[in-house]
A and B are shown apart, each in its own frame.
Chain A
Amino acid sequence: MHNLNDEQSRVGTIDMVKKGLNRRHRKERRFRFFGCAAILISLSFLSLLLISIIFNGYTAFQQTVVRLDVLLDTDVIDKDDLADANYSKLIHNALLSISPDVTKHTDKRKLYGLVSISAAYILQDFVARNRDKIGTTIQIWVPADADVDMLMKGHIDLDKPESQRRIDERELAWVDQLVKRGQIKKVFNKTFFTAGDSREPELAGIRGAVCGSFYAIVITLSLSFPIGVAAAVYLEEFATKNRWTQIIEVNINNLAAVPSIVFGLLGLAVFLNFWGLPRSAPVVSGLVLALITLPSIIIGGRSSLREVPPSIREASFGIGASKIQMVAHHVLPQALPGMLSSTIIAMARALGETAPLLMIGMVAFIANIPAGFTDPSTVLPVQIFLWAGSPEKAFLEKASAAIMVLLIFLMVMNGMAVMLRKIFKKRQ
Chain B
Amino acid sequence: MTSIHLLLTLWMLTVAGYFIGRSKAFSVCAAQGGPSALHSRPFYYGILTSIWCAVPALIVFSFWHFFQSTIIMDMVMADLPDQIRSLPDARLNLVVNDIKNIVSGNTVSVQISPAIQAAADHYKSLEMTAHTALGVIITAITMVAIAGICLKITPTLRARNHVEKIVEVLLIACAVLAVFTTIGIVLSVLYESIRFFKIVPVHKFLFGFEWSPQMAIHAEQIGSSGAFGVVPIIFGTMLIAGIAMCVAVPLGIMSAIYLSEYANGKFRRIVKPLLGILGSIPTVVYGFFAALVVAPAIKEAGDILGFSVSSASALAAGVVTGIMLIPFVGSLSDDAINAVPQSLRDGALSLGSTRSETIIHVVLPAALPGIVGGVLLAVSRAIGETMIVVMAAGLSAHLTANPFEAVTTVTVQIVSLLVGEQEFDSAKTLAAFALGLVLFVATLILNVVALTVVRKYRAHYA
Using CB atoms and an 8 Å cutoff, list the residues of chain A in contact with chain B: 17, 24-25, 27-28, 31-32, 34-39, 41-43, 45-46, 48-49, 52-53, 56, 226-228, 230-231, 233-235, 238-239, 247-248, 250-255, 257-263, 265-266, 268-270, 273-274, 276, 291, 294-295, 298, 322-324, 345, 348-349, 351-355, 358-359, 363, 381-382, 384-385, 388-389, 396, 399-400, 403, 406-407, 410, 414, 418
Chain A residues closer than 8 Å to B443, beta-carbon distance? 257-259, 262
Interchain CB contact (< 8 A) of A53 among B184, B280, B288, B433: B288
Q: Are A384 and B178 within 8 A (Cβ)? A: no
C-alpha spacing A324/B165, complex, angstroms: 9
Decide: A262 and B189 in contact? CB cutoff 8 A: yes
Interchain nearest-CB distance for B317 vs A (Å):
14
| With known contacts A27-B354, A31-B359, A238-B168, A255–B178 Cβ distance under 8 A | yes
B436 touches A56 (CB 8 A): no
241-291 of chain B: CB within 8 A of chain A: 250-255, 257-259, 261-262, 271, 273-275, 277-278, 280-289, 291
A262 and B384 contacting across the interface, CB-CB below 8 Å: yes
A-B contact pairs, 28 of them (CB 8 A): A31-B356, A35-B255, A38-B251, A46-B277, A228-B174, A238-B168, A251-B182, A252-B178, A257-B447, A257-B451, A258-B444, A259-B386, A261-B386, A262-B440, A265-B432, A266-B188, A269-B189, A269-B191, A294-B177, A294-B178, A351-B282, A385-B284, A385-B387, A385-B391, A389-B391, A406-B285, A407-B285, A410-B282
A273/B424 contact (C-beta < 8 A), A48-B293, A257-B447 known: yes
Bound together, the chains give a CA A226 to CA B381 distance in angstroms of 27
B168 touches A324 (CB 8 A): yes
Q: A261-B411, A266-B184, A268-B418 provided; 4 other pairs, C-beta below 8 A? A: A259-B383, A269-B191, A352-B281, A388-B291
Contact B280 A354 (CB under 8 A): no
User: Complex: how many Å from CA A238 to CA B171?
Assistant: 9
Task: List residues of chain A with CB within 8 A of the CB of B281.
Answer: 49, 352, 407, 410
Minimal beta-carbon separation of A415 from chain B (angstroms): 10
A266–B287 CB distance below 8 A: no
Cβ-defined partner of A251 (8 Å) among B69, B178, B261:
B178
Min C-beta distance of B420 to chain A, whole Å: 8
Nearest B residue to A349, CB-CB: B280
Q: What residues of chain B lie closer than 8 Å to A24, measured between beta carbons?
A: 354, 357
Q: Which of A250, A276, A355 has the most CB of B within 10 A?
A: A355
Q: Which residues of A contact B432 (CB under 8 A)?
A: 265
Kindly state the separation between the CA atoms of A314 and B450 in the bound complex, as whole angstroms: 36
| Per-residue A-contact encoding for B121-148, CB less than 8 Å = 1, 0 else | 0000000000000000000000000000
Q: Is B59 an interface residue (CB 8 A)?
A: no
Q: How many residues of B contact A (CB 8 A)?
A: 89
A52-B293, A262-B189, A407-B281 are known contacts. Are A231 and B411 too (CB-CB below 8 A)?
A: no
Tell me the smallest distance from the CB of B415 to a CB of chain A, in Å. 6
Which chain B residues border A358 with CB–CB below 8 Å?
A: 415, 418-419
Contact among B178, B285, B327, B447 with A231 in the assembled complex (CB-CB below 8 Å): B178
Contact status of A359 and B418, CB under 8 A, knowing A38-B251, A43-B274, A388-B288:
yes
**A335 to B76 alpha-carbon distance, docked (Å):** 54
The answer to whether B174 and A36 touch across the interface, beta carbons within 8 angstroms, is no
User: Cβ of B303 < 8 Å from any Cβ of A?
Assistant: no
Complex Cα distance, B69 from A263, in Å, reads 27
Q: Is the CB of A231 within 8 A of B171?
A: yes
Name the residue on B nearest A351 (C-beta): B282
What does DSSP make chain B's interface, helix, strand, loop or mixed? helix
A227 CB contacts on chain B under 8 angstroms: 174, 177
- The answer to whether A388 and B380 have CB atoms under 8 Å apart is no
Closest 3 CB pairs of A and B: A259-B384, A352-B282, A35-B258
B414 near A352 with CB under 8 A, answer no
Closest to A399 in B: B288
B184 touches A270 (CB 8 A): yes
Q: State whether A28 and B356 are in contact (beta carbons under 8 Å apart), knowing that A258-B443, A348-B280 are contacts in the complex.
A: yes
CB of B377 within 8 A of chain A?
Answer: yes
Residues in A with CB closer than 8 Å to B177 are 227, 231, 294
In contact, B285 and A294 (Cβ under 8 angstroms): no
CB closest chain-B residue, reference A268: B418
Partner of B175, one of A226, A248, A254: A248
Q: A261 contacts B415, CB within 8 Å?
A: yes
Closest to A322 in B: B164
B1 at the A interface (CB under 8 A): no
Tell me whether A261 and B250 are in contact (CB under 8 A).
Answer: no
A418 to B175, CA, bound (A): 27
From B252, B273, B285, B444, contact of A384 by CB (8 A): B285
Instruction: Check A45/B278 contact, CB under 8 A, given A248-B175, A255-B178, A355-B386.
Output: yes
CB-CB under 8 A from A43, the residues of chain B are: 271, 274-275
Structural contact, A247 and B179, CB atoms closer than 8 A: yes
| A260 contacts B384, C-beta separation under 8 Å | yes
Residue of B nearest to A387 (CB): B288
Q: Please, which residue of chain A has its CB at the minimum distance from the CB of B435?
A: A265
Instruction: Provide the residues of chain A in CB contact with B448, threshold 8 Å.
Output: 254
CB of B14 to closest CB in A, whole Å = 16
Question: Would you call B316 an interface residue if the criterion is a C-beta within 8 Å of the partner chain's C-beta atoms?
Answer: no
Which residue on chain B has the smallest CB distance to residue A52?
Answer: B293
The answer to whether B289 and A49 have CB atoms under 8 Å apart is yes
Specify which of B255, B289, B359, B440 is in contact with A42 (CB 8 Å cutoff): B255
* Residues 391 to 444 of chain B near chain A (Cβ within 8 Å): 391, 411, 414-415, 418-419, 424, 432-433, 436, 439-440, 443-444
